Structure 1
C-alpha cells in the first residue's frame, strides 16, 4: 500500500477547505427544500429557470458583460503600447511605474471603485463611464504585470535593437 505524503495530505485538506463551500452553495441552489437534514430533500433546476427567465437579470448580465468586455479592450489598447514603450525606450522609468502599479495592490479594489464613484458621480459624467473607469483602474495592474512579464520573457528590447540594425525604423520595429 502506498503511503500518503504529508504535503499531499495538506494539499488535499486545503482543496477540500476551499471547494466545500462552493459545492455546498451549488447544492443549496439546486435544493427544493433543505431544513433539518444533512442533504437536501430534493433537487430542482427551477430556481435557475426562474433566474434566466427574468428580463431584469438578462439585461443586467448583458450590460455587465458588455461593460467588462469594452473596458478590457480599452485597457489592452492603453497598456500594451505603454508597457512596450517603457521596456524598450525608457527602461529607467520601469522601476517607478512598477512602484505605482504596486500601490494599486495596496488599496482594495472595492474601496478604490467606491472612491472613484463618489468622487465623479456628481459631475454630470454618465454612471456607465464612471463604472468603466473604476473597473479599468482595478484591471490595469494585472494587465500591466502580465504584459511586462511577456515582453521581458521574449526580450522585446533585444528584438527591437535587432530590427533597427536590419534597417527598421521605430515605427516599423
Structure 2
C-alpha cells in the first residue's frame, strides 16, 4: 500500500496524525518542488519526491493536510495530478483546508463531504467552493473514493484511512486504536 502525504507551505501537520504508522505501508512524502516546506506549526519538512516524479498508478491514497492551500488553487500541475488519481479511482483524502483544495478542483462536485475546522458555515469565505457539493455536519465523510474530515477530527480521519486500507482485523481493534489515540483508558 502506497500512501502519499502532500506537503505545502503552511500545511497543518497535527491534522495528519495517522494510525497507520508502523503498519506495512510505504509512505511517500511529496510536494510541488524539491525544497524545505514549513508547516503551520513551524516544523521543517523535506519531501521524498515532487509531484512531477510521481506516477498515479503507484499511489493508493493521496492525503491533503489542512492549512490554507488557497495559493495552490490555480496550480495546474497539482490539479492535473490529483485529477489523474481521481480518474484511476485512487483514494483522495483531505482534512480541514485539504477539503478546500478538493472542492476547488471539482473533486467534491455531487459528493457528500465536510470541511474546515467545524464544517463550513454559509457565511464563510470558503462556502462558495462547495456550491456543487453536499455539505454535511459530520466529522468524517466517505463518498466514493473521497474522504473529507473537519480539522478537529484528525483521529477519526486516521481511523477512516486505516479502514479503507483494510489494516484493522475487526471493530475491537478499531476501538482499541481509537482509545489509544484519544488517550482513553479502559
- Provide the TM-score with structure 1 as the length reference: 0.20
Higher strand content, 1 or 2: 2
- Rg: which structure is higher? 1
